[in-house]
Amino acid sequence: MLAETVSHVDPSGSLVPAPYVVVGRREEAADVVTLSLEPVEGPSPTFRHGQFNMVTSFGRGEIAVSMSSAPGAPGPMEHSIRRVGAVSAGLCAAPVGSLVGIRGPFGSSWGIDEVEDGADVVVMAGGIGLAPLRGAVRDLVARQQCGRGRVFVLAGSRSPDQILFHEELQAWERAGVHVGVSVDVGAPGWVGVVGVVTALLPGAPFEASGALALLCGPEIMMRFGGRALVDRGVDPGRVRVSLERNMQCGIGLCGHCQLGPLLVCRDGPVVRYGGLADELFMERNR
Amino acid sequence: MNEAARRLLSGHAFLAGFPPEAVELVADQAELVSFRPGALLFREGSPADVAYLVTTGHVAIEIHAPSRGPLVIETIGAGHVVGLSWAAPPFRYQFDARAIDHVEAVAVDTAPLRVALAENPVLGFLFLDRLTAVMLERLQATRIRLLDLYGATDAR
Amino acid sequence: MCAAPAGPRRSLGSVRPGDDAVIDVGGLDRLIVLLGERGYRTIGPVARDGAIVHGDVGGAGDLPAGWHDLQAPGRYRLEQEGDAELFGWAVGPASWKSEFFKPEETVFRAAVTDGAVSIALPAPPERPLAIVGARPCELAALDVLDRVLAGGEVPDDRYTARRAGSLVIAVECGKPSSTCFCTSMGTGPDAGPGYDLALTELLTGMHRFYVQVGTEAGAELLEGVGWAPAIEEDRSARQDVVDGARAGMGRSLQTDGLAALLARNLEHPRWDEVAERCLSCGNCTLVCPTCFCSDVKDLSEVDGTIERRRTWASCFDIDHSYLHGGAVRPTTSSRYRQWLTHKLSTWWDQFDTSGCVG
């Protein structure tokens, strides 16, 4: 019954992954592990900020994970994975030298390559939501350092021990980027902001007119964050959110990721807030 | 003026101790409403233009998260007010409000009420004062609940 | 009306796509036999287990002669009435999607050993498929599935492999059921594009089939079978069949503005009203010829080999929308709403067509 055996497969509509080797791993906060991956054969793939791969933990299954590194950056592609189920646990436990499967890249992009010179970019992340934004922030920091426009990073977490990429946040701040970090609940030794992430907005001196805003995190956070940004004067059409739904094929064939008129894997996950996500967010059980 | 509303309002705890002209001001913008169990009083994001002074039943202030369903933040019963977002910009409800059981309330049209209160600073201050007390109480209670006092303490 | 000649005609006067012709029951039998001789796996309607379902057919004798159905909401009865009519029934519970979009199939098998993963793909289908007896609504359904599974940026390799090289012999409807509404959806009762040959069973006068040639492949097949030219009497008899079907349609659906109407009534109490009596069993999604949802799951064997398997899924399944510890659509009402708004409204947004073929 089985025909040709293939050791490297071109990922496409076949649902067959290409093997990648774990060349590095790093334990982050909050049950998150960042894996550095290189293809067994062929060059590292190109992708755009905000896209995702379907990542296979051989023997357990496949999940959608956004890239957390910047496209075209030197070094291997990175995925920061949160341990929430069997497949993610398998990936989080993958030792250096082990193999995972990759299909992708899929989905829409944050679109920061097209942002106009001079425009402020506001990045608001909640919890693990900072991971799909990390590659974009790295490039936006470089953009600011070239004088092409400012970036403002606002990151909210549940508690201080759950703050992701803490050292990188500090490095960005040292590089002159406005970085706001808040926690919902404090802890002994925490002298930073305790409050909802939207409370960081008044302290961020960005120019709302012409600004681009990127939000990623729990849906409630994106709902409140989107509204707060629009109230501040950001054009709702220039606020972008990253939607999430059950994904199994990643290529618009299995139907699981439907959200109203969208197939999130194909029409998202990044979609505009004004006139689309703001309405979809208000529909219950959709 | 709605006489039935006026009578209910004069006995409602939110307006306790208010002079009759204050009660009348509210009654001028009020009508009696009821909700069957499960009915929505208002939805997150919609314009906040009604305050509900509950006289019977319980209302859940809740927020909806996909795959976690409605999360009840607080319940509000008879003698209390549901809906505070009409008091300050952006005048949009921040949460959903749903009747848990059979609910009866006095629904107050808040936009004209605000206009009337602005024209009558003495009554306006009374309302502000009472509103502040309600908000303060809820804020303080919420802060205590944030501490998760009953959760398992850290082994370390 | 003379019987069709036994052998192929010469190229002068051959049929071409767009032409019509006539064959008798013997011709239909030769057609099915010829398909088998040419290496097709031929599947057609058969009466089995009290219903018209799909099965392998070797000749016209395998077709459900004399079987007639009675369909109504929640009711399906098949009766043998002893006549010679082969296609005197409306679409039953089987749909052609299960031939091209398999209910269950292996995507790959893999083994991870010594730092290398070897992936083996299943063999492609051995024989191309020929389907006999596709109704106009089923042709439309295949067209919808082509858009969904083959028309996107990333087509489904397995589906396209099965569709490629397949032959479709359609049969127009003469006896719609009380639950049919193809006329409302613009998908029948006359056959739309998508057939290699379309037949209409004619019972007035000699028992014969009016044939419409759709493609070169269909023309070539018909040449192999032999045919007689269609005369005016054949054409008008065929028109009578189709007109009769149109007039006898059991239901109608108002489609003007339907997509927008559903989109702005997501909170209508009607969803709850229907959900009250809906078991959320998902049978509708199994029977529906355009439903395409699937699960993609990895299974591991005791010996360490892995199989990625794709199986039919249904949006009525509570786990269909599972995310972060719960279902996004936890109520029957929300799942029923998803199914219907997708079928009649958001399918347009996603695939620029309705999801319903009537």
Residue of B nearest to C331 (CA): B69
Q: Residue A267 pLDDT > 70, yes or no?
A: yes
- For the packed helices C269-277 and C332-341, what is the interaxial angle rounded to 10 degrees? 110
Residues A198-233 pLDDT 10s: 999 999 999 999 999 999 999 999 999 999 999 999
C323/B69 CB distance under 8 A: no
Question: Which residues from chain C sit within 8 angstroms of residue B69, using beta carbons?
Answer: 326, 330
Which segments within chain C are labelled E, that is strand?
Answer: 20-24, 41-48, 51-56, 67-72, 75-80, 104-113, 116-122, 129-134, 167-171, 197-202, 208-213, 294-300, 306-312, 322-323, 326-327
Q: Answer whether A16 sits within 8 Å of C121, measured CB to CB.
A: yes
- DSSP letter for each residue of C146-175: IIIIISSSS--HHHHHHHTT-EEEEE--SS
Q: Is residue B155 part of a domain?
A: no
| CB proximity A120 to C under 8 Å | no
Q: Would B12 be classed as within a structural domain? A: yes
- Which of C14, C46, C43, C2 is closest to C225 using CA atoms? C14
Give which of C289, C277, C274, C285 is closest to C317, Cα–Cα.
C285
Assign domain A112-281 to a CATH class: alpha beta
pLDDT value, residue A246: 96
Closest CA to B123 of B29, B32, B55, B47: B29
Domain membership of residue B99 as a residue range: 3-146
Q: Could you give phi then psi for residue A216, rounded to 5 degrees?
A: -150, 130
- The answer for A 188-247 residues in CB contact with C (under 8 A) is 244-246
- CATH code (residue B67): 2.60.120.10
| The pLDDT of residue C325 | 82
Q: Is C314 within 8 Å of C321 (Cβ atoms)?
A: no
Q: In what order do the strands lie in the sheet with C104-113?
A: A2-6, C116-122, C104-113, C306-312, C294-300
Confidence band, pLDDT 50/70/90 cuts, at residue A8: very low
Phi, psi of A186 (to 5 degrees): -80, -175
Q: How far apart are CA C193 and CA C18, in angstroms?
A: 11
Mutation pick from B40, B67, B93, B143 vs chain A, by most beta carbons of A within 10 Å, is B67
Predicted confidence band at A63 (pLDDT cuts at 50, 70, 90)? very high
* C59-68 b/e (C-beta count within 10 Å ≥ 16 → b): ebebbbbebb
Is residue B151 assigned to a domain? no
Domain extent listing, chain C: 20-101+124-247, 258-294+311-351
How many distinct structural domains can be found in chain B?
1
Nearest beta carbon to residue C112 from set A3, A99, A258 = A99
- Which of A254, A259, A281, A282 is best to mutate for the C interface (most C CBs within 10 A)? A254
* pLDDT, averaged across chain A: 93
Instruction: Give the distance from CA C85 to its chain's centroid.
Output: 21
* C343: contact with A, CB 8 A cutoff: no
- The answer to whether the peptide bond before residue B90 is cis (omega within 30 degrees of 0) is yes
Q: What pLDDT does residue C276 have?
A: 96
Among residues C194, A6, A285, the alpha carbon closest in space to that of B64 is found at: A285
Cα torsion B26, B29, B30, B36: sign: negative
The predicted model scores a pTM of 0.90
pLDDT one digit per residue (tens) for chain C, 358 residues:
444 444 444 444 689 999 999 999 999 999 999 999 999 999 999 999 999 999 999 999 999 999 999 999 989 999 999 999 999 999 989 999 999 999 999 999 999 887 789 999 988 888 999 999 999 999 999 999 999 999 988 899 889 999 998 999 999 999 999 999 999 999 999 999 999 999 999 999 999 999 999 999 999 999 999 999 999 999 999 999 999 999 999 899 999 999 999 999 999 999 999 999 999 999 999 999 999 999 999 999 888 899 999 999 999 999 999 998 899 999 999 999 999 999 999 999 999 999 999 9
pLDDT at A141 (0 to 100): 98
SS (H, E, C) A224-257: HHHHHHHHHCCCHHHEEEECCCCCCCCCCCCCCC
Span B67-83, pLDDT tens digits: 888 899 999 999 999 99
Suggest the residue from C118, C296, C306, C336 to mutate for an interface test with chain A (most A CBs closer than 10 A).
C296
Q: Which fold has domain A18-106?
A: Elongation Factor Tu (Ef-tu); domain 3 (2.40.30)
pLDDT at B48 over 60: yes
Ranges of CATH 2.40.30.10 domains, chain A: 18-106
pLDDT in tens, A23-58: 999 999 989 999 999 999 988 889 999 999 999 999
Rounded to an integer, what is the distance from CA A105 to the centroid of its chain? 13
Using a CB–CB cutoff of 8 Å, tell me whether C322 touches chain B: yes
Is residue A241 predicted with pLDDT exceeding 80? yes
Specify if B154 maps to a domain: no
Report yes or no on B43 lying in a domain: yes
In this prediction, residue A9 carries a pLDDT of 39
Half-sphere exposure of residue A225, counting CA atoms within 13 Å on the CB side? 29
Q: Residue A5: what pLDDT?
A: 39
Q: What is the mean pLDDT of residues B38-53?
A: 95
Q: Within its chain, how far is the Cα of A14 from the centroid?
A: 25
Residue B153 — pLDDT band, cuts 50, 70, 90? low
Determine the distance in angstroms separating the CA of C338 from the nearest CA of chain B, rounded to an integer: 14
Prediction ipTM score: 0.90
Residue C113, pLDDT score: 84
Q: Name the pLDDT band for A1 (thresholds 50, 70, 90).
A: very low
* Exposed/middle/buried for residue C257 (C-beta within 10 Å: 0-12, 13-18, 19+): exposed
Please determine, for residue B93, whether its predicted confidence score (pLDDT) is greater than 60: yes
